[in-house]
Amino acid sequence: IDVKGPAKDIFRGAGSYSNGGAMKIAPVSLFSYNNYDNLLHYVKEVTQITHAHELGINGATLQVITNSFVQPYKERLKIVKNLLSETGGELNEQRIIEELGNKLTALESVPTAIFCFLNAEKRIKGIRTDNPVRRAIQYAITLGGDTDTIASMTGAIAGAFYGHEKFNRLLLSHCEQADRFEELADALLDVAISKT
């Protein structure tokens, strides 16, 4: 019996891309606990029974990944919030490293980059610039560890928030292809728009 066939036949053979697959996928997280490869396999298998379109399957995949793996990041973001809310002087870099990390793993670098961006909204002792993008990047570098990646992620967050106007020539002179950033961004946007 072809249990996936009917889902492929609806919507003129394109399959459904609604959110129904994502709505019912949570139990797969439990079924595939601690086995990421099985998780991805079963999400696709289960979703294809009712939602054959790639967007429906991808939505269910995103939902189940969020359900399964968000907890460690949730804990780290609580630490970010607590560190940012503390008063009474500057935060010790060693404490940031111990509580958030500065390593190669995403769990020990992405929350750190978020913290660096948020912390740089105010002046930071030892960093002399009024530019919040530069301040965020410099602060990320002071934490050591995987500095190029953490500083890059911090700069990306700050750049998205503040816009390209805050990237001065000196800062851009250290970036490969900086003279083409606007051209490349426009090209990416054109590709994204043409696919919609």
What is d(CA 190, CA 195) in angstroms, rounded to the nearest whole number?
9
d(CA 126, CA 50): 58
What does the pLDDT average to over 19-46? Answer: 79
Give pTM, 2 decimals: 0.64
CA distance 77 to 98: 14
Q: Where are the domains of the chain?
A: 4-194
Q: Chain-wide mean pLDDT for the chain?
A: 82
Rounded to an integer, the average pLDDT of 123-141 is 93
Measure the CA angle with vertex 143, ends 138 and 145; round to 5°.
115
- Greater confidence (100 vs 107) lies with 100
Q: Domain 4-194 adopts which CATH fold? A: ADP-ribosylglycohydrolase fold (1.10.4080)
Given a cut of 90, whether residue 166 has pLDDT beyond it is: no
Q: Which residues are annotated as a binding site for Mg(2+)?
A: 146, 148-149
Counting residues of the chain whose pLDDT is more than 70, the rounded percentage is 86
Per the annotation, binding residues are 146, 148-149
Q: How confident is the model at residue 67 (pLDDT cuts 50, 70, 90)?
A: low
Q: Which residues pair with 124 in a beta bridge?
A: 127
- The whole-number pLDDT of residue 70 equals 65
Highest average pLDDT, of 53-67, 91-105, 162-176, comes from 91-105
Q: What is the arithmetic mean of pLDDT over 22-51?
A: 80
Calculate what percentage of the chain has a pLDDT beyond 90. Answer: 24
Q: Helices in 86-163 by DSSP H: which ranges?
A: 93-100, 110-119, 132-142, 147-162
